[in-house]
Structure 1
Amino acid sequence: MRQTCVLLLFLVLASCEYFNVKKTSPEAILKEELQTFNWNDVDEYPSFSICDSLTLKAEKKTCFQQVLTAHISGFLQDEIIIVSKDISDTIVLNFQVSETGYLKLIDAKIDSLTIAEIPSIETLLTKSLDSLPNIFPATKRGQQVKTEFKLPIIVKVN
């Protein structure tokens, strides 16, 4: 009986270790969460109201790119551009959409021949963004975030 009591007392004292609660600081939780966070992807891409009916993330991204490309291409087609040589170039535009939905052209990679033939091409591209419909910014975990993306635009002038 005495051995059983000693064994039971030992088990009770040894099992107290299992009841100790480890305290985790908010900083440690935040640090762990930030390590698992994918900073290069958003939950929802920037969007136009035309794209609201779409449900899949990839469809919304494609819709946004198509609306933006169509708008810029339409603007350039309405402009009277006179060239001495035929131009067939792909311009890569780097955009930034702010947390408030403001679209800004950061950079444009344009071939030197295109710049020589159409010196005002970058001004025209920037001007084409003035008449864009309202943009809903990208979201990450329910928060509106700033995003950057590249968009190729094909320019053909005969």
Structure 2
Amino acid sequence: MKRLLYLFCVVVLYSCNYFENKKIYSEDLLNEELQTIDWNSVDEYPSFSLCDSLSAKVERKTCFTTTLLKHVNQYLALQKIVVSQDIEDTIALKLAIDKKGVIKILDVKAKTETRSAIPKIDSLLRYSITTLPKIFPAIKRGQQVDTEFVLPVAILIE
């Protein structure tokens, strides 16, 4: 009987830890979750309504960048740009698209020769971006997010 009582006391003492609730802090959960997220990629890239029919992530990204480049190039082709020498350059447009789908140019990197030959290249590029059709923002974990990327625009004027 003493053995049974002893065994019962041991079981009760050690089982108290079983019923103990561990405190989980929401801040700890949030920090743990934030560390597991890949912040350099999105679940869905920004998109135009033209690209909505595509299902693959890579196809949608290609459609978006192709549509964007095509629009900028068409706008530049309509401009009467007169130069005294041939220009061949790839301009790097750093773009930002916010959560509402508003696009803006953050930076324009071009050769010095291109800037001196076409002094208004920045304003032409900025205006071409403002005439784009509606953009749907990128999606990360079901939420619309801000994105930034660099778009290379080839300039060839003879």
* Pair in the same fold by TM > 0.5: yes
1:40: how far off?
1.8
1:153: how far off?
0.7
User: Hey, what's the Cα distance between the residues in 1 that align with 2:104 and 2:130?
Assistant: 10
1:71: how far off?
0.4
- 1:140 and 2:140 aligned: yes
- 5+ residue gaps, structure 1: none
User: Hey, what's the Cα distance between the residues in 2 that align with 1:115 and 1:29?
Assistant: 51
Query: TM-score by structure 2 length?
Result: 0.94
1:9: how far off?
2.1
Counterparts of residues 56-75 of structure 1 (less than 5 Å): 56-75=56-75
User: Hey, what's the Cα distance between the residues in 2 that align with 1:27 and 1:120?
Assistant: 50
Deviations 1:41-96 (A, max 9, x none): 22211100011011121211111111000000111111111111111111010000
- 1:149 and 2:124 aligned: no
Say how many residue pairs are matched.
158
Runs of 4+ in structure 1 deviating by more than 4 angstroms, as ranges, are none
User: Hey, what's the Cα distance between the residues in 1 that align with 2:136 and 2:11?
Assistant: 62
Deviations 1:88-145 (A, max 9, x none): 1110100000111111011010001111111111111011112211000112222211
- 5+ residue gaps, structure 2: none
Tell me what 1:23 maps to: 23
Greater Cα shift, 28-37 or 93-102: 28-37
Query: TM-score by structure 1 length?
Result: 0.94
- Secondary structure at 1:27's aligned position in 2? helix
Q: Which amino acid aligns with 1:131?
A: T
User: Hey, what's the Cα distance between the residues in 1 that align with 2:23 and 2:60?
Assistant: 43
Tell me what 1:52 maps to: 52
Alignment RMSD: 1.2
User: Hey, what's the Cα distance between the residues in 1 that align with 2:42 and 2:63?
Assistant: 16
